[in-house]
């Protein structure tokens, strides 16, 4: 028999097969490092690599598909095969993974009434059109076609979300309709509600957990007539802005649980290598409040965010070696880290002066959400003129997400975040507003990736703006995905004004005086440096307020002074020999004249968790 068979155990080509896998998300790692991470996985003793497939990355706009660069899934799969690894794919439509909107494309929300993860026909139609492209692409790499893909997942942790069994069966039938023959499986938390809600008759159920392996496997025996498998063995946890800590786990406890699963079942390590939530791709959770994930997805994984070997790696390698020996694969040398030192700002331009260059303007009587304007990520600005309101005593943004900064003639008068947007914001003292401009800058902090709040993830303002309890109409809306910062036109820098908030000198003195009168608002700062070698480094964001960072036009991700993360990982392949440009978009009026490139991460103080 060719391929994977699921009986009492896994069998590959008729021989008993023990699944020892590790998760590496190709879309969280620059392609130049895929080989390094995969070789380290194989050298540790694993025989398989597992990855999600994010729908929102592969179909960023409806009907437009991307499978190149960081999204060259085929290249990743072929590289894994060449190294001697099998592959497990988890192809959405939903993935979770602390990823923006759980992998769903934001354009789904443009449609009023959209219902996700159930038998709602408009949603199913979108999934079908996506799979019409994705599944034939995948099929080329399945084991029965000579490729390394031995198994695929249906949905992800559906039992935590719902119990629409018709939806799950529909997904199963759809995948099979493309001639996909490899075994399919589901994965859920090892709890009765989850295992019942996420089941599909005849499909192997696997569990996701991070500790108490014996108890979890004992529970799963009630439901699983076949090999016991942990499809996500959580070795750490994710961090969120404002949490105060970088979450870690006990190596000793990890090893104890890992050893038990090696002896009694199968395991996929989540994460073997976490990587980075580049750009605006971090997800969020929502229970009592919004908790957006930080840019780093270090996850306290077997490899660090920049691919360095950890104590967990050595300990896990020993456990695998004792039972199965190790393959003859040499562990790659560590990628060099370098402290490039401090570099000075040499350019500045305010957001207000950049709108015509980097934003699309839309006229509307009333506020409109990002999605309705064809925007998925970044910021959106609502501009209007107040010609009939003498004073503003309060403002309310109805159906707004996630963080809004309100300006009157470019002076920041209010900042609202998360639940503060559910009620009116009192303005004390009242602000004179007659014949003045009102600007509302709204940031998408990352769509919720887990649970029922996923249905309420339109960003920007999706309802009316109330000033002094009255609706205000008439807006110019500027979409700011920040995917075109090469169009920025920078002016000169006044070094003496950096620190608590930057105030920058323009060549035109009159413009400078106006800027100082109105104060410095959201702005772009440019830093350039020369590199004689391209090494990994870390950008220290201490002293900055909030925003995002670009290296040579590539969006590295977000920073926020609330921490815990204080430095952004900059992979060496994104650095050029010679001149490099770093652009910081900062929204709080806090910037530093110097930007430091360090040779070490700064993820915050550690706190141990037991997931």
* DSSP sequence for 182-249: S-EEEEE-SSHHHHHHT--TTSEEEEEESS-HHHHHHHHTTT-SS--EEEEEESS---BTTS-SEEE-
DSSP code for 483: -
Helices (H), 431-575: 509-518
Q: How far is CA 452 from CA 193, 283, 322, 376, in A?
A: 16, 14, 44, 20
Cα dihedral across residues 503, 508, 514, 517: positive or negative: positive
Among the listed residues 227, 231, 199, 277, the one whose alpha carbon sits nearest the alpha carbon of residue 89: 231
232 carries an active-site annotation: yes
Number of helices (H), then strands (E), belonging to the chain: the values are 12, 35
Helix (H) or strand (E) holding 342: strand 341-350
Both tokens assigned to 532:
């004689």
* Six token digits for residue 269: 């390590």
> Going by C-beta distance under 8 Å and a sequence separation of 6 or more, which residues neighbour residue 351?
381, 441, 480, 521, 522, 523, 524, 585
H or E element at residue 313: helix 311-324
CA angle 482, 483, 488 (to 5 degrees): 65
Catalytic residue among 50, 59, 98, 157: 157
Sign of torsion, CA 100 102 105 109?
A: negative
Instruction: Report the residue count for the chain.
Output: 611
Report how far residue 215's alpha carbon sits from residue 430's, in angstroms, rounded to the nearest whole number: 60
Query: 210 near 249, Cβ under 8 Å?
Result: yes
- Given a contact cutoff of 8 angstroms between Cβ atoms, the answer to whether 249 and 235 are in contact is yes
Phi-psi bin for 117: left (phi > 0), alpha (psi -120 to 50), beta? left
Residue 544 C-alpha from the chain's centroid: 22
Catalytic residue flag (residue 181): no
Residue with tokens 């290598």: 273
The one-character DSSP state at 330 is P
DSSP state of 441: E
Buried b (16+ CB within 10 A) or exposed e, 345-382: bebbbbbbbbbeebbeebeeeebbbbbbbebbbbbbbb
Please work out, in degrees rounded to the nearest 5, the angle formed at the alpha carbon of residue 557 by the alpha carbons of 158 and 543: 130
Rounded (5°) CA angle 348-353-358: 95
310 is written with which tokens?
């950890």
User: What is d(CA 140, CA 78) in angstroms, rounded to the nearest whole number?
Assistant: 11
Q: Which of 50, 98, 100, 232 is catalytic?
A: 232
Residue with tokens 């920058």: 504
Nearest to 98 by CA among 301, 312, 274: 274
Active site residues: 157, 232
């Amino acid at each position: 028999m060719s391929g994977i068979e699921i009986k009492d155990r896994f069998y590959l080509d008729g021989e008993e097969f023990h699944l020892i896998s590790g998760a590496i998300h190709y879309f969280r790692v620059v392609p130049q490092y895929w080989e390094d991470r995969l070789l380290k996985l194989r050298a540790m003793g694993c025989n398989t690599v597992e990855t999600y497939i994010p729908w929102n990355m592969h179909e960023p706009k409806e009907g437009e598909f991307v499978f190149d660069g960081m999204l060259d899934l085929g290249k990743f799969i072929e590289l894994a095969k060449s190294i001697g690894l099998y592959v497990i794919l988890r192809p959405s439509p939903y993935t979770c993974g602390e990823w923006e909107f759980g992998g769903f494309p934001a354009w789904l929300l443009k449609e009023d009434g959209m219902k996700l993860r159930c038998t709602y026909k408009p949603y199913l139609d979108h999934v079908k059109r996506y799979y019409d492209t994705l599944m034939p692409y995948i099929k080329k790499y399945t084991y029965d076609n000579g490729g390394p893909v031995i198994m695929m997942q249906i949905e992800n942790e559906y039992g935590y979300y719902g119990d629409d069994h018709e939806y799950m069966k529909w997904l199963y039938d759809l995948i099979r309709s493309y001639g996909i023959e490899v075994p399919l499986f589901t994965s859920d938390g090892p709890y009765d509600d989850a295992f019942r809600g996420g089941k599909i008759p005849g499909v192997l159920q696997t569990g996701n957990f991070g500790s108490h392996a014996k108890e979890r496997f004992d529970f799963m025996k009630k439901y699983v007539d076949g090999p016991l498998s942990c499809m996500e063995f959580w070795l750490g946890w994710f961090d969120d802005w404002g949490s105060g800590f970088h979450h870690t786990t006990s190596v000793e406890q990890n090893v104890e649980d890992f050893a038990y699963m090696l002896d009694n079942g199968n395991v996929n390590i989540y994460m073997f290598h976490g990587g980075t939530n580049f750009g605006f791709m971090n997800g969020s959770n929502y229970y009592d409040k919004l908790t957006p994930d930080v840019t780093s997805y270090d996850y306290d994984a077997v490899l660090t965010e920049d691919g360095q070997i950890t104590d967990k790696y050595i300990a896990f390698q020993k456990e695998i070696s004792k039972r199965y020996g190790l393959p003859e694969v040499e562990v790659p040398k560590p990628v060099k880290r370098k402290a490039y030192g401090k570099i000075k700002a040499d350019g500045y331009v305010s957001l207000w002066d950049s709108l015509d260059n980097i934003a699309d303007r839309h006229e509307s009587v009333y506020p409109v959400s990002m999605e309705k304007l064809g925007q998925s990520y970044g910021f959106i600005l609502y501009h209007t003129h107040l010609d009939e309101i003498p004073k503003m005593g309060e403002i309310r943004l109805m159906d707004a997400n996630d963080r809004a900064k309100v300006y009157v003639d470019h002076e920041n008068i209010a900042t609202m975040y998360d639940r503060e947007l559910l009620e009116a914001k009192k303005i004390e003292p009242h602000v004179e507003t007659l014949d003045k401009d009102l600007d509302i800058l709204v940031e998408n902090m990352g769509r919720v990736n887990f649970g029922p709040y996923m249905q309420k993830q339109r960003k920007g303002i999706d309802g009316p703006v109330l000033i002094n309890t009255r609706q205000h109409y008439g807006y110019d809306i500027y979409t700011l995905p920040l995917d075109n910062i090469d169009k920025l036109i920078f002016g000169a820098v006044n070094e003496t004004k950096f620190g608590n908030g930057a105030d920058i000198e323009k060549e035109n003195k009159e413009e400078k005086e106006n800027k100082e009168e109105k104060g410095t608002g959201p702005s772009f700062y440019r830093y350039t440096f020369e590199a004689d070698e391209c090494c990994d480094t870390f950008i220290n964001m201490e002293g900055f307020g909030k925003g995002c960072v670009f290296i040579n036009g590539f969006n590295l991700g977000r920073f926020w002074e609330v921490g815990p993360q204080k430095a952004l990982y900059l992979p060496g392949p994104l650095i050029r020999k010679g001149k490099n440009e770093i652009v910081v978009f900062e929204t709080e009026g806090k910037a530093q004249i110097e930007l430091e490139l360090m040779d070490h991460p700064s993820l915050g103080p550690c706190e141990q968790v037991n997931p």
